[in-house]
Structure 1
């Protein structure tokens, strides 16, 4: 079942429809509209945050959803679906995949990834895991733990991972070359050309968020470019 779901994403664009509480587009109604527009444009799946958004999108959109739940705990820097509680809420909201932080950072209550994956397999046997990683070593560890897909989401967002302005295509290439687990390229993909480079590097699918679904950030890039021209 899980393998069939992942096959449907092959060579496709996944659109991440997320907004922070302080942003103008925050709220299920806005994210549903974004997801429906992405579906109309040819996306193969949606990535969405919070059970509320996931549930609302599943009711109006026919695409599979990679769900996550961003929660902050005082004893951990892990915030993407950090505990079994959030995994359950995402799964029960109807997500087809559950995205989970698979970095080496300390998890809430000191739980290990091995323990968390064990609980998921035991209590939620139908849950397909997308492992959000930041380094090659984390990607390999996620494969060893049986994640259904690996996403390069957190490259550049942990203190020890590669810090760069562009997508981490090298990471996509190294993990894809192992031919073990489908690799989703995600993070700082701003143009179709960058997405194409990720596919050339072996990505199973490409995830794009900010460049499509965060109008304020898209506007800022235009404004900065215009200002740079004025100063030239």
Structure 2
């Protein structure tokens, strides 16, 4: 199967991930979350961690973008940082392996091109998570099957960038022939729809759907602001 046909175009991919300190951490919870996403009409799942990948793959019959997040002292790369990690993600059942596509030094000393080539030899489709236009173009040239805007705002060079950066998406779709994926900071349905209009192959949404503590906190913050504003008005 061609890598480009793994996930239905113009659909929603839900990122089902929970950090260790979050209430929904655990493969059982993530598998249930993936089932809910499927029922809602999602065309794919993005999942982190080998256990979660296996559990979600067994629970739902949707294409799965897999990754691991591992911090190393000698590198800023943490999304599937080494070729060994990437091959393990592929072996766990991921249809597409997401890797850091920024070109920053990797913990295992391999280049981005070498990492992509190693995955291709194993028969894996590769998604390069990038932060800038130049990184997206380079990742495509190095053989990535997909380029995703995932890391914009999360690297030293792009810190503070307002998200979602749909301008970056639009620039990439204008020049790349491989699918460009919109991910990062999309928290409103209208933003996801606009990403499709700008040429995104599909849209990945995570926190706005699958992190209830973050969703609830937005309500709490807005309500506290309203209460504070009302109190100030009453004192005038």
Question: Which TM-score band (shorter chain)?
Answer: over 0.9
- The aligned counterpart of 2:232 is none
SS in 1 for 2:108: helix
- The aligned counterpart of 1:142 is 139
Aligned residues of 1:10 and 1:205 also touching (Cα < 8 A): yes
Alignment equivalent of 1:186, drawn from 183, 186, 192: 183
* TM-score, with structure 1 as normaliser: 0.95
Q: Which runs of 5+ in 1 are unaligned?
A: none
Task: Please state how far the C-alpha of 1:115 moved relative to its aligned partner.
Answer: 1.9
Task: Please state how far the C-alpha of 1:3 moved relative to its aligned partner.
Answer: 3.4
- The aligned counterpart of 2:106 is 107
Aligned residues of 2:153 and 2:163 also touching (Cα < 8 A): no
- The aligned counterpart of 2:24 is 25
Measured against aligned partners, the alpha-carbon deviations of 1:134-179 in whole angstroms (never above 9, x if no partner) come to 0000000011011111110000000102623430100000000114
- The aligned counterpart of 2:199 is 202
* TM-score, with structure 2 as normaliser: 0.94
Measured against aligned partners, the alpha-carbon deviations of 1:52-106 in whole angstroms (never above 9, x if no partner) come to 0000011110101000011111110100001111111111111100000011322
Give the number of equivalent residue pairs: 229
CA distance in 2, matches of 1:229, 1:28: 38
What does 1:118-157 correspond to in 2, within 5 Å?
118-122=117-121, 124=122, 126-157=123-154
CA distance in 2, matches of 1:75, 1:83: 12
Q: Which runs of 5+ in 2 are unaligned?
A: 230-236
Structure number with larger C-alpha Rg:
2
Aligned residues of 2:16 and 2:30 also touching (Cα < 8 A): yes
- The aligned counterpart of 1:222 is 219
Task: Please state how far the C-alpha of 1:9 moved relative to its aligned partner.
Answer: 2.4
- The aligned counterpart of 2:157 is 160
Measured against aligned partners, the alpha-carbon deviations of 1:1-52 in whole angstroms (never above 9, x if no partner) come to 133534x320000000000011110000000000000000000000000110
- The aligned counterpart of 1:34 is 33
- The aligned counterpart of 2:51 is 52
Measured against aligned partners, the alpha-carbon deviations of 1:186-228 in whole angstroms (never above 9, x if no partner) come to 0000000111111111111000000000000001111111111
